[in-house]
Amino acid sequence: MSANRDRLFILDTTLRDGEQSPGASLDEREKLEVAQALASLRVDAVEAGFPIASPGDFAAVRRVAAAVRGPAIVALARALPKDIEAAAQALEKAERPRIHVFLATSAIHRRFKLKKAKDEILRIAARSVRLARKYADDVEFSPEDASRTEPDFLAAVVETVIRAGARTVNIPDTVGYATPDEFGRLFRMLGERVPSIGKAVLSAHCHNDLGLAVANSLAAVLGGARQVECTVNGIGERAGNASLEEIVMAVRTRPDHYGVRTAVDTRRIWKTSRLVSRLTGIPVQPNKAVVGDNAFAHEAGIHQDGILKERRTYEIMTPASVGWRGTSMVMGKHSGRHAFRERLRALGHRPGPQELERAFRRFKELADKKKCIFDDDLEAIIEDEISAIPEEFRLDYISISSGNRTLPTATIRLARGERLLQDAACGDGPVDAAMKTIKRITGVEGRLADYALRAVTGGTDALGEVTVKVTCGPHTETGRGASTDVIEASAKAYLNAINKIIWRRRQKKRTAAPRF
Ligand code: KIV
Ligand code: ZN
């Protein structure tokens, strides 16, 4: 990656900083799916994880590194030999490996967290970058809490790490404290005061504690940054990170102002946003810029009139430019297998014959209950059907009795291979009754840690998609299920999480943890 005046590099950290969002943990297969979507989106670098953090993180980085081609694959490491070695090991099979070393530099971190003086910080930073360079040509360094670091010392750190071999120097606003004018000035200062600055790409990494992450990132671009670090939907630690889609669309919509371009295929933004939302279980707020459901919806009469006369009156970017599928095609019970397969292809899915058959059956069942099947309905079906996690238990039958004067009771039959297992239980509500019954049949004592229901499309006959987080011992798994019946969707989601827990227990027995 070389510095190019009008090229803005995008480092996506959805799988690392984004995954640090409370409750957003993704399994290895889901991380690979996101990484592949990011490669198709054409980001320049995918930060896949923090390998020393856990065996799961290590395995996920290794898997992404082996499978994903195109972007640089980045692994995070503290400025410690064992971290850097773990990152290098996880990146062994990467086409373009990058080791990202970080070390805090601000007075408050030096004094209370690290208990180290400035000269020691400089020595450790240089030594770590040199060690990382033994394993990878592409090394990035981040002075953590840079925005609260004394400017003179920050400039000295940046010069030191560039001399030691860092190709990218990332300036994090770790706690979201900076303001746009200050942050832009910080980049200009580094451009002027760091003698070796021409040998590295300056990068910005902003957190959203005061809602300024995107504004600060864009101010950094105006100040000379040529890489921004961001996440899909802006997910991340605490209030999140700078949102990828907002930064990319800001520089695309205002080239006159920012004077930079990215390589991102913006038409894939919407799909990637929905994938990340579905897999993490974190919904996208309707009024979210660029990817919210209402981002291109015009309600006011005056606006509608303007749009009909000339779209540009009220639209600064076209829905198509971000892949928004506002005007969905209509599919219904008369649609055949061919049309179904073609529609799935248009949405970017190429299921195998068996998956197609299962998905088609689900589509027909849904079409009997619901007049119009929208693209989002199809996505939910396909997500439900094309799962690499083996289904130990499958929902065969569910019957609920509920009402304001009845004790909610669920009767459920599950298929386990050829065997059918049936039981019934009462609960505090129909969902609780269904989950208790599933517990009795499967013998898995899962605790429901989170539950979210969303209507995939509008109308009273909408497909409901339920996302749950279920904890069982050390495992927390996300489960999803979709149906026009929300209780059935809940049971499916819960069962999906239970199947993942069973699968993960088996995997754990098989896989020995890597040695660092
Ligand atoms: O916010 C931060 O400082 C980070 C660094 C590890 C880059 O995420
Ligand atoms: Zn961060």
Give the residue, by CA position, lying nearest to ligand 1 atom 1: 174
Q: Tell me, what's the pLDDT at 299? A: 55
The rounded distance, in Å, linking the Cα atoms of 148 and 125 is 18
| Per-residue confidence band for 82, with pLDDT thresholds at 50, 70 and 90 | very high
User: Which range among 179-193, 212-226, 354-368, 446-460 shows the weakest confidence by mean pLDDT?
Assistant: 446-460
Closest ligand 1 atom to residue 175 Cα is 1
Give the residue, by CA position, lying nearest to ligand 1 atom 5: 144
Q: Tell me, what's the pLDDT at 510? A: 58
The residue ranking higher by pLDDT, 324 or 185, is 185
In the predicted structure, residue 494 carries a pLDDT above the cut 70: yes
Displacement of CA 330 from its chain's centroid (Å): 29
C-alpha 420 to ligand 1 mean position (Å):
50
Closest ligand 1 atom to residue 142 Cα is 7
Closest ligand 1 atom to residue 241 Cα is 1
In the predicted structure, residue 508 carries a pLDDT above the cut 70: no
Q: Tell me, what's the pLDDT at 304? A: 61
The rounded distance, in Å, linking the Cα atoms of 512 and 2 is 39
C-alpha 261 to ligand 2 mean position (Å):
23
Q: Tell me, what's the pLDDT at 2? A: 45
Query: What number is the average pLDDT over the span 89-115?
Result: 97
Which residues are 395's β-sheet partners?
A: 414
Token pair of 366, please? 């849904």
- Lookup result for tokens 């100040």: 223
Contact (CB, 8 A) for 46 and 64:
yes
C-alpha 47 to ligand 2 mean position (Å):
11
User: Which range among 173-187, 353-367, 424-438 shows the weakest confidence by mean pLDDT?
Assistant: 353-367
C-alpha 172 to ligand 2 mean position (Å):
7
Of 30, 64, 33, which Cα lies nearest the Cα of 47?
Answer: 64
The rounded distance, in Å, linking the Cα atoms of 287 and 468 is 24
Query: What number is the average pLDDT over the span 130-135?
Result: 98
Q: Tell me, what's the pLDDT at 3? A: 47
Displacement of CA 51 from its chain's centroid (Å): 17
Which one-letter DSSP state was computed for residue 441?
H
Three-class DSSP category at 444: coil
- Lookup result for tokens 């609960």: 427
Query: What number is the average pLDDT over the span 94-113?
Result: 97
C-alpha 214 to ligand 2 mean position (Å):
13
Please identify every residue whose CB atom is under 5 Å from ligand 2, which is an ion: 17
Residue ranges and CATH numbers for the domains of the chain are 9-280 (3.20.20.70), 337-385 (no CATH), 394-510 (3.30.160.270)
Token pair of 323, please? 């892949």
Q: What is the pTM of this model?
A: 0.72
Contact (CB, 8 A) for 244 and 218:
no
Q: Tell me, what's the pLDDT at 353? A: 84
| Per-residue confidence band for 294, with pLDDT thresholds at 50, 70 and 90 | confident
In the predicted structure, residue 265 carries a pLDDT above the cut 50: yes
Contact (CB, 8 A) for 403 and 368:
no
Ligand 1, from 174, 203, 228, 238: best to mutate by most atoms within 8 Å of Cβ?
Answer: 174
- State the SS3 of 454-471: EECCCCCCCCEEEEEEEE
Token pair of 350, please? 């190429």
The rounded distance, in Å, linking the Cα atoms of 289 and 243 is 9
Closest ligand 1 atom to residue 229 Cα is 7
C-alpha 103 to ligand 1 mean position (Å):
9
Contacts of 5 (CB under 8 A, 6+ apart): 226
Mean pLDDT of the chain: 89
Closest ligand to C-alpha of residue 77 is 1
For residue 69, count other CB atoms closer than 10 A to its CB. 11
Q: Tell me, what's the pLDDT at 513? A: 43
| Per-residue confidence band for 330, with pLDDT thresholds at 50, 70 and 90 | low
The residue ranking higher by pLDDT, 135 or 355, is 135
C-alpha distances in Å from residue 446, one per residue of 93, 282, 449: 36, 21, 9
Closest ligand to C-alpha of residue 236 is 2
Query: What number is the average pLDDT over the span 411-416?
Result: 95
In the predicted structure, residue 514 carries a pLDDT above the cut 70: no
Closest ligand 1 atom to residue 144 Cα is 3
Give the residue, by CA position, lying nearest to ligand 1 atom 2: 174
C-alpha 175 to ligand 2 mean position (Å):
8
| Per-residue confidence band for 387, with pLDDT thresholds at 50, 70 and 90 | low
For 334-368, write each residue's pLDDT tens digit: 777 877 887 788 777 777 888 888 888 888 888 88
In the predicted structure, residue 50 carries a pLDDT above the cut 90: yes
Return the percentage of the chain with pLDDT > 90, whole number: 65
Query: What number is the average pLDDT over the span 472-485?
Result: 82
Closest ligand to C-alpha of residue 171 is 1
| Per-residue confidence band for 140, with pLDDT thresholds at 50, 70 and 90 | very high
Query: What number is the average pLDDT over the span 96-104?
Result: 98
For 245-260, write each residue's pLDDT tens digit: 999 999 999 999 999 9
The residue ranking higher by pLDDT, 427 or 460, is 427
| Per-residue confidence band for 474, with pLDDT thresholds at 50, 70 and 90 | confident
| Count of positions (residues) in the chain | 516
The rounded distance, in Å, linking the Cα atoms of 59 and 510 is 14
C-alpha 421 to ligand 2 mean position (Å):
47
In the predicted structure, residue 507 carries a pLDDT above the cut 70: no
Q: Residue 382: which region, alpha, beta or left (left: phi > 0; alpha: psi -120 to 50)?
A: alpha
Query: What number is the average pLDDT over the span 20-39?
Result: 91
In the predicted structure, residue 434 carries a pLDDT above the cut 50: yes
Displacement of CA 179 from its chain's centroid (Å): 26
Q: Tell me, what's the pLDDT at 298? A: 61
Closest ligand 1 atom to residue 17 Cα is 8
Return the percentage of the chain with pLDDT > 70, whole number: 91
The rounded distance, in Å, linking the Cα atoms of 82 and 76 is 12
C-alpha 17 to ligand 1 mean position (Å):
8
Of 49, 72, 50, 66, which Cα lies nearest the Cα of 168?
Answer: 72
Give the residue, by CA position, lying nearest to ligand 1 atom 6: 102
Q: Tell me, what's the pLDDT at 300? A: 61
Ligand 1, from 106, 145, 205: best to mutate by most atoms within 8 Å of Cβ?
Answer: 205
The residue ranking higher by pLDDT, 343 or 204, is 204
Pocket of ligand 1 from Cβ distances under 6 Å: 17, 102, 142, 144, 170, 172, 174, 205, 207
In the predicted structure, residue 241 carries a pLDDT above the cut 90: yes
Closest ligand 1 atom to residue 13 Cα is 8
Closest ligand to C-alpha of residue 104 is 1
Q: Residue 145: which region, alpha, beta or left (left: phi > 0; alpha: psi -120 to 50)?
A: left
Q: Tell me, what's the pLDDT at 96? A: 98
Ligand 1, from 142, 169, 208, 241: best to mutate by most atoms within 8 Å of Cβ?
Answer: 142
The rounded distance, in Å, linking the Cα atoms of 477 and 280 is 10
In the predicted structure, residue 313 carries a pLDDT above the cut 90: no
Three-class DSSP category at 402: coil
Query: What number is the average pLDDT over the span 67-85?
Result: 98
Ligand 1, from 14, 207, 229, 231: best to mutate by most atoms within 8 Å of Cβ?
Answer: 207
C-alpha 172 to ligand 1 mean position (Å):
6
